[in-house]
Amino acid sequence: MTDESAAASLGGFFALRATAPPEGAHRPLALLYAGETAPLSSRIDLVAARHRTHERRVAASIAQLGLAARLWSIALGPAALTGRFPDLSPDALRWDPRASSPDDLWLSTAETLPGTAERIREVVQYGHLAPLAEAIHRDGPLADRLLWGNAGSALAGALSQLVDRARANHRPDVAARARALTAELFDHPDLRNTGTPHDTAFRRRSCCLYYRCPAGGLCGDCVFKRT
């Protein structure tokens, strides 16, 4: 199975466009990280309108959490299935800030990388999540603890979806690889203390602020949720 077909087979947050969409609204994420703030500002505006919140920090947190979930998923899914994942370089990975959830991503290269935790961390955590946090800070104040908490929650959520799909398809090997990769990814100062345990039962130690939306509530891994 190729990385492209692996992503397609998982669907949802794991899906990744391999051809240019006709509308041409996608922008390389590298431009966002380099200081092109308008697409992120418009995305936060869109999220705020959809969730009917006037608190920009709430919308910014939800927007960052959604994109973090996509970034982890499109790396972890193929890595667990095939042992390789797409080269998600910010120059090649393009994003449409106007699209509905999950974030619409188009990858303009077919290159792949070894599906190790070290390479996934290099590409996703260092190459995307760290500069994305800086971009969020340029839009407005939001605590690093919250942003990395979102990243940890997104990683645990990707694992949970992968394990569920692996079980449904009788692939314990895929579930085992996904768990092993996730455990290694959580073993980093930015992610280690975002919540516990580092598996599908993850409970975060910070709040994404979704509960502050008029129709919001507590997420499944919410720090405020009673067991």
| Residue 188 in domain | yes
| Residue 33 in domain | yes
| Residue 27 in domain | yes
| Alpha carbon distance 101, 159 (integer Å) | 19
| Alpha carbon distance 29, 42 (integer Å) | 14
The pLDDT value recorded for residue 99 is: 84
* Alpha helices by DSSP H, 121-203: 130-139, 144-168, 172-186, 189-192
The pLDDT value recorded for residue 63 is: 96
Helix%, strand%, coil% for the chain, nearest 5 = 55, 10, 35
| Alpha carbon distance 73, 2 (integer Å) | 16
| Alpha carbon distance 217, 91 (integer Å) | 36
The pLDDT value recorded for residue 101 is: 76
Q: What is the mean pLDDT of residues 119-142?
A: 96
User: Which residue type occupies 153?
Assistant: S
pLDDT above 90 covers what percent of the chain?
80
Q: Which of 14, 137, 106, 5 is nearest to 69 (CA)?
A: 14
The pLDDT value recorded for residue 21 is: 79
Q: Which domain holds residue 59?
A: 3-212
Q: How many structural domains comprise the chain?
A: 1
| Residue 217 in domain | no
Q: Judge if pTM exceeds 0.75.
A: yes
| Residue 59 in domain | yes
| Residue 218 in domain | no
